[in-house]
Structure 1
Amino acid sequence: MVMQVRAARTRQALIVAAAEVFADEGYVRASLPLICKRAGVSSGALHFHFASKDALARQVESAAVDAAEKLAERYRAAAGTALQSMVDVTSGLMLAMVSDPVVRAGFRLSGDPSRKGGAELFQWWHASVRELVLRARDAGELAQDVSPEDAVAAIVAATVGFEALAGWDKDWLSTERAARFWEFVLPRMAVSPELIPDGTSLGVKEGLP
């Protein structure tokens, strides 16, 4: 049992260390020796858990999806409307890109052209946005002339773009930036002004993770 606990801790330390390195350096420049040093483990321990850098990157992506899903579930449960849920989930995810190295690495790995396959977090985010937009449509919250697919494309492209731009200016992932984005987009999407969250509720609500 002690060995199992120790092995689980080592595996988790490697995932977090790899996420930090992948987020900072990208997939190509990230080295296994640097990841081992960051995690405080030997190269033998790394290869015991992960056969290659690609296998480690895939595990980081999977962990990022798990973290993003849990975050999204908490925000969706607290929202009163589908559009409010969209605002909260998007804003919360943008903050997680800053505060959580696993989520940040997941987005960077998903968009890394040097890797074949992958894009797991991008695929999850596209499916999540589509689900929320369709919920808004079915609830009568979307303006009649708004194409759900166009709305999904705009929201996904904008949020992924914010993450890319944050590489040189972290302000792109601030709550203020999220609020300004939704202040611009929501009047076009919502069927009526009553469904647009007021300025104090744009961005991440206080008390939510």
Structure 2
Amino acid sequence: MVKQERAARTRESLVHAAAEVFAEEGFAAASIAQISRRAGVTSGALHFHFDGKTSLALAVEERAARAMREAAAVLEERDRAGGPLRVLVGSTYTMLSLLTEDVAVRAAFALCADTAHSGRVDLRRQWRSWVEGVLADAERARLLAEGVALQDAVDLVVALTVGLDGLGGFEPDRGARQLLNRIWTVVLPGIAGGEVAAAVLVEALAEDETD
């Protein structure tokens, strides 16, 4: 049991160290030596747990995907009563928190766009699918503004929020969240319009102030 716990801790350290190095250096520039040194283990110990950089990158992506699924489940439960647009807006604040606080998520988003790595988990595509599903719920509930096509709304939200991995580089004051507040203040009335957008914004901004 002690050996198993030690092995689990070593593996955890290696995945965390790999995420940090991938986020900072990219997949091609990252080295096994860097990752093992960051984790405080030998290269031999690293190879005992992982075949190499690719298997480490896959482990980072799987951890990030799990973190996003767990966050989405909490979000849906918390914001369901506020309707799909409330869920949509809330999800972007959750995403920003993940990118700021969870290095695996930050690294996995970087790996998605890294041509040197071919992963199994595309978080950017998963994010698009999530946005499309929530906005489809909003369309069925007749919450989208007149003349707004579903795919146009999806494209707009994804284009704006895919840059959240850049916002994640802000210092952990409230600069990034305040910028996200301003983005939604401009964008949401174009998607939903009228009283619906106003109500969602009031709830979202008020909740952000209390976080």
Of 157, 160, 165 in structure 1, the residue corresponding to residue 159 of structure 2 is 157
Q: TM-score, normalised by structure 2?
A: 0.88
Q: 2 CA distance for matches of 1:172 and 1:47?
A: 40
Distance between the aligned counterparts of 2:7 and 2:60, measured in 1?
Answer: 17
Matches within 5 A, 1:58-207: 58-79=58-79, 80-118=82-120, 120-164=122-166, 174-190=176-192, 192-196=194-198, 197-199=200-202, 201-202=204-205, 205=208
The structural deviation recorded for 1:137 is 1.2
Distance 1:73 1:89, change over 3 A: same
Q: Name the structure 2 match of 1:17.
A: 17
Letter of the 1:16 counterpart: H
Superposition map of 1:39-58 within 5 A: 39-58=39-58
Give the deviation of 1:22 after TM superposition: 0.7
**Residue 173 and residue 32 in structure 1: after superposition, are their counterparts in 2 closer, same or farther (change >3 A)?**
farther
Q: What secondary structure, in the 3-state scheme, does the structure 2 residue paired with 1:141 have?
A: coil
**Residue 191 of structure 1: how far off its partner (Å):** 5.0
Query: Matches of 2:133 and 2:107 in 1, distance apart?
Result: 24
Change (3 A) 1:195 1:183: closer
Gaps of 5+ in 1: none
Deviation of 1:192 (Å): 3.6
Q: Alignment partner of 1:28: what SS? A: coil
The 3-state SS of whatever aligns with 2:23 is helix
The answer to whether the Cα contact below 8 Å between 1:97 and 1:163 also exists between their aligned partners in 2 is yes
Partners of 1:17 and 1:38 within 8 A in 2: yes
Q: Which runs of 5+ in 2 are unaligned?
A: none
1:91 aligned partner, one-letter code = Y
Distance 1:162 1:106 in 2: 13
TM-score normalised by length of structure 1: 0.88
Distance in 2, Cα, partners of 1:99 & 1:24: 15
In structure 2, do the counterparts of structure 1 residues 51 and 111 end up closer, same or farther at CA, with 3 Å as the change threshold? Answer: same
Deviation at 1:113, TM superposition (A): 2.1
Aligned residue identity for 2:17: A
After superposition, give the CA deviation of every residue in 1:54-80 in whole Å (9 maximum; x if it has no partner). Answer: 111111111111111211221221111
Residue 115 of structure 2 aligns with an amino acid whose one-letter code is P
8 Å Cα contact 2:99/2:168 also seen in 1? no
Aligned to 1:149, what secondary structure does the other structure show?
A: helix
Change (3 A) 1:131 1:63: same
User: What secondary structure does 1:35 align onto?
Assistant: helix
